[in-house]
Amino acid sequence: NSIFVCVPYFLFCFHNVYRSFILFLTFIFYTAYHLSRKPISIVKSELHRNCSTVIRPVDLNITNNATWCDWAPFDQDNYQTLFGVLDNSFLVAYAIGMFFSGIFGERLPLRYYLSAGMLMSGLFTALFGLGFYWNIHSLGYYAFMQVMNGLVQTTGWPAVVACVGNWFGKGKRGFIMGVWNSHTSVGNILGSLIAGVFVSSAWGMSFIVPGIIIASTGILCFFFLVESKFLFSQRLPTPKQGRALRHVCNANCFQSISGFHGVLCLTQGVVEFSLCLLFAKLVSYTFLYWLPLYISNVAHFEAKEAGDMSTLFDVGGIVGGIMAGLVSDYTGGRATTCCVMLIVAAPMLFLYNYIGQRSLGTTIGMLLVCGGLVNGPYALITTAVSADLGTHESLRGNSRALSTVTAIIDGTGSVGAALGPLLAGVISPTGWNNVFYMLISADVLACLVRNATLSLHSHHSVISHSKPEH
């Protein structure tokens, strides 16, 4: 009898250990995704430099003293526009691909889907860096690599959120996913530091090394990821096996409600939070792609120093994401938590632009505060809110719909992610003040559009319920 008592207990403990291991694995996976996106923002200030401050090699025969150290075609006066082309080649492809990624994520094994995505992302990231060694000066080549990388990177987010949502319940989902979502900031920090090591000597390695890292995590995913606790529990000879299998069967019975139309019809909140994330992600990704260049131009830091300083924004983002998750778990108000942080972020961005570069201490403090307030709502919406909506009771137990909900919300947000860096590239020649006014407006709109859309939903719901039955 003791054997029958001990074996289920051992399997239960092993189940909990493996659940923690899945959380760690998916953290590593998406850290690698963001790690491979970050180098472009660090390398920008090396592709176009102030050549008058650079020591020229004595054996170099040049005719243009102003741009001799720049990398063509980014040696032109419109270099900021060209950088915007690179950013949007990735981000527009990412935004478009995200809407289809959720559909594929529902129908394909997540382990294969993630593994293939990371291997392909590693390939295109490395090919971008190889342009340095192959002496490629074609904007089309680099833009094409960005487009392809943007498409394959869409495999990451819906899949990892679906995995974590399948393994963890709703009890402390805000806190768990707040801690887990720090992979975004950790990836940005590691990407900045790794790219910074090579940026001044051989910027191609700033892409090749992250490419190798994400490809390696793809191999790790293939051998170790179990996408759902129900797949895991099918091997356990316990009564839970039957309940898990019945749950899977029930999900299959309602498979017809998956997809965009079914999710949007059945789950209130998807549209509201999608539009909110559009503006929140606009702000976050503008900082992601332009902050190092802003610090370099305004504070006159070298490329490596500006990249290192920009990581403080992501450190603040880690704390902000965790705090947003804790507060939303305690209060039960995810929307309220997002709105409060977005409203407070607006004046903080104004202050950072005007006093943030006065001293090193002020710069550090303002970057930490702004990072927390900007990335906190972004992290909460893309993780805990997406998982809550994707496992909503209106979806009748269809856990596969979590991938679609995540793709809808993050895909809409990615439209803002593409729009932000594009607007920054267009506006920055008129002055950095105007860029910050745009970011402040987007923060306010993120809060307003969420509340306005929710009010419309509530009004429509009242009208529909007040109609007499026939």
Query: Residue 352: what pLDDT?
Result: 92
Are 407 and 98 spatial neighbours (Cβ–Cβ below 8 Å)? yes
- Entry field: residues in the chain: 470
Query: Residue 329: what pLDDT?
Result: 78
pLDDT in tens, 188-216: 899 999 998 998 889 999 999 999 999 99
Which single residue is written with the structure tokens 């179990």? 226
Measured distance CA(267)–CA(175) in Å, rounded: 23
Taking every pair of Cα atoms in the chain, the longest distance, rounded to a whole number of angstroms, is 90
Can you list the alpha helix ranges (DSSP code H) found in 300-400? 303-331, 334-355, 360-380, 386-390
- Whether a cis peptide bond, with omega within 30° of 0, leads into 347 is no
CA-CA-CA-CA torsion for 37, 41, 47, 51, nearest 10 degrees?
-160
- Say how many Å lie between the first and final Cα of the chain, rounded: 62
Nearest alpha carbon to residue 112 among 255, 229, 219: 219
* Number of other CB atoms surrounding residue 224 within 10 Å: 12
Helix pair 270-299, 360-380: axis angle to 10 deg: 160
Measured distance CA(40)–CA(129) in Å, rounded: 10
Which single residue is written with the structure tokens 């269809």? 398
Query: Residue 219: what pLDDT?
Result: 95
Query: Residue 133: what pLDDT?
Result: 95
Query: Residue 45: what pLDDT?
Result: 83
Are 103 and 259 spatial neighbours (Cβ–Cβ below 8 Å)? yes
**Contacts for 132-139: CB closer than 8 Å, 24+ residues apart:** 132/71, 132/202, 132/203, 132/204, 133/204, 137/71, 137/72, 137/73, 138/73, 139/73, 139/82, 139/85
Query: Residue 293: what pLDDT?
Result: 84
Residue range 1-49+75-228+259-462 forms a domain whose CATH class is mainly alpha
Residues of the chain predicted below pLDDT 70: 1-16, 56-66, 168-175, 228-269, 384-403, 450-470
Query: Residue 400: what pLDDT?
Result: 56
What are the phi and psi torsion angles at 138 (to 5°)?
A: -100, 125
Measured distance CA(250)–CA(252) in Å, rounded: 5
DSSP codes of every residue in 190-238: HHHHHHHHHTTT-TTHHHHHHHHHHHHHHHHHHHH----HHHHHTTS-S
Query: Residue 382: what pLDDT?
Result: 75
Which single residue is written with the structure tokens 């691909």? 97
Query: Residue 229: what pLDDT?
Result: 60
Tokens matching residue 454: 């929710």
Nearest alpha carbon to residue 348 among 308, 297, 310, 313: 313
Which single residue is written with the structure tokens 């959380």? 23
Measured distance CA(439)–CA(280) in Å, rounded: 9
Q: What is the pTM of this model?
A: 0.73
Query: Residue 465: what pLDDT?
Result: 40
Query: Residue 116: what pLDDT?
Result: 95
Query: Residue 170: what pLDDT?
Result: 55
Can you list the alpha helix ranges (DSSP code H) found in 257-302? 260-266, 270-299
**Which residue type is seen at 38?**
K
Query: Residue 368: what pLDDT?
Result: 93
**Which residue type is seen at 73?**
P
DSSP codes of every residue in 293-325: HHHHHHH---HHHHHHHHHHHHHHHHHHHHHHH
The region that residue 431 occupies, defined by phi over 0 for left and psi between -120 and 50 for alpha, beta otherwise, is: left
**Which residue type is seen at 250?**
N
